[in-house]
Amino acid sequence: MAKTAAIKPKQAKYKKYMLVRYGRMNTLGFFEHHETQIPKLPSRVVVKTDRGLELGELVGPLCPYKAGQFKLNQQQIKKYFDDSNIDITIEPTGKFIRYATADDISEQRHLQKIAKQEMQSCKQFVKELNLSMKIVDAEHIFGGERIIFYFMADGRVDFRELVKKIAHEHQTRIEMRQIGSRDEAKLLGDYESCGQECCCIRFLKALKPVNMRMAKMQKATLDPSKISGYCGRLKCCLRYEDKTYTELKKSLPKKNTCVKTKHGEGKVVDTQILTQLVVIELGEGARIAVGAEEIEVIPQTTKTDDKQDTNADDQSQDNSENKNQ
């Protein structure tokens, strides 16, 4: 009896993904597709997410796509976004449906106009119900599956009655999403004092915390009106160089540290992080600025040991005097 040929298991099809920015909050996600080529021009696409059909924008058409696939692997992509302080999941978000047509873009513009009317209607209901919340924006999903209202409030708000009224008015699914002042700027902001469009609108997905330590380390002015952004909080750009400043600061001695230079011994009174210069006060109040590599820190243990030796000599002398007495 002839041997039957071993049946080889079918191999899973090689999946390809494209990177798309979609939604009112400019969310980034990977979408599975079957296109052989990616256009090297700014392109709008229709994608399927867990919220329904959405219109998005293809990210990085000039990036290394080969036969419709990103050349970078998932780990390289995640590292790139981690280094850029952008929070993104490398798990697939949904599926690519088609490249947007003129009718799709026209429909999106129509929905944006409707969303403004829906937001005004929501504000009226909020006023009638006397709810302590501020409606910031509304997003009508491209597929028509739902309307998302973005609002601000000091604490938790019971908006169940509000949702019932809006759903009855517009006959669709309603989602209420509470946001903070930074998210408000991401939705409504335009241009910052630097002349560029707000970073949170252009590319920042994760708005990570910024504190005064970063401003002080970079020796930026501490005038709140100059270091605060559209949202009224500290500017996100203060965070961009914080890692570099922190690393450079490690190579500089702290203030009041005793150091030795070719000009003599002195005490550190100031440092300049970017230029790696150390300002040293020598004897008689004279000050000089030298490079961090030109100084040698005098260990504190040396002075401590000297002090202990002096104390030991004094104690020995006291004991000798007591013995003679």
Residues 62 and 23 in one domain: yes
- From 48, 68, 100, give the residue that closes a domain: 100
CATH number at residue 153: 3.30.300
Whose tokens are 């669709």? That residue is: 172
**Considering the domain boundaries, does residue 322 fall inside one?**
no
- The answer as to whether 309 is a domain residue is no
pLDDT at 301: 64
From 59, 39, 57, select the one nearest 47 (Cα to Cα).
57
Q: What is the DSSP string of 129-169?
A: HT-S-EEEEEEE-TTSSEEEEEEE-SS----HHHHHHHHHH
pLDDT at 41 (0 to 100) = 82
Q: How do the residues of the chain divide into helix, strand and coil, expressed in percent and rounded to 5? A: 35, 25, 40
Specify whether 88 is located in the same domain as 119: no
Which of 100, 130, 160 lies at the terminal end of a domain, its last residue? 100
Do residues 297 and 253 make contact, with C-beta atoms less than 8 angstroms apart?
A: yes
Count up the domains in the chain and report the number.
4
**Same domain as 27, residue 73:** yes
| Residue 293 forms part of a structural domain | yes
- pLDDT tens, position by position, 25-37: 888 888 888 888 8
Asked if residue 12 has pLDDT above 50, the reply is no
Would 137 be classed as within a structural domain? yes
* pTM: predicted TM-score of the whole model, two decimal places: 0.68
Q: What is the pLDDT of residue 302?
A: 47
Q: Within a domain: residue 1?
A: no
Based on the fold, state whether residues 74 and 132 are members of the same structural domain.
no
Considering the domain architecture, whether residues 64 and 87 belong to the same structural domain is answered as: yes
**Same domain flag for 33 and 84:** yes
**Ranges 12-21, 116-125, 156-165, 286-295: which has the least confidence:** 12-21
Mean pLDDT score of the chain: 81
Length of the chain equals 325
Please give the residue range of the domain that contains residue 210: 183-245
Q: How confident is the model at residue 164 (pLDDT cuts 50, 70, 90)?
A: very high
CA 182 → CA 87, 216, 220, distances in Å?
Answer: 16, 21, 21
